[in-house]
Amino acid sequence: MKLSELKQTDEFCDVLLTAAPYVWNFIDDEAIIAFWNSRQDKIKDGMAAGRVSKRLAFEIATAAIGSRREDTYGILAALNGTGVDDIKHQPPGKTIFQVVELVMDLISDNGLFKDIMRFFSQSEPLDTSGASGT
């Protein structure tokens, strides 16, 4: 399933809550963020041309699988309503297709996931020291 195919808030919340720990690991990984940022020109150029290359999506997908395999499986499991073990044991071609599809959805101009990523990657850390700002 693609993130952009989630039509109901309740369904989206279920997926988000299940995938959140895995997504946070991506957001907190400086190497992944640097890799993602290094591809922004290609992503913007592709969107300006009205298309995003599957080659670019595959490049990003393989980086995700290479450095954050378990997190990638967790996100796929959340999106597909299945378990991580099911993702690990499905045919490799199916997994690659799902990851590329997820990346295509992520870098497409449909907005939802892109807006979420932008929000979390640019937010300041919460002050958990107990001191108030007043």
- pLDDT digit string, tens, across residues 28-74: 888 888 887 887 777 777 655 556 667 777 888 888 888 899 999 99
pTM: predicted TM-score of the whole model, two decimal places? 0.71
Structure tokens at 104: 């295509």
What pLDDT, on a 0 to 100 scale, did the predictor assign at position 89?
Answer: 96
Averaged pLDDT score across all residues of the chain: 77
Exposed (0-12), middle (13-18) or buried (19+): which is 71, by Cβ within 10 Å?
buried
Compute CA distances 94 → 25, 71, 100, 111, 127, whole Å. 23, 17, 10, 25, 42
- Answer yes or no: is pLDDT of 105 > 80: no
pLDDT on residue 33: 80
Give me the mean pLDDT over the 2-7 stretch: 70
Task: Please give the single-letter amino acid code of residue 39.
Answer: R
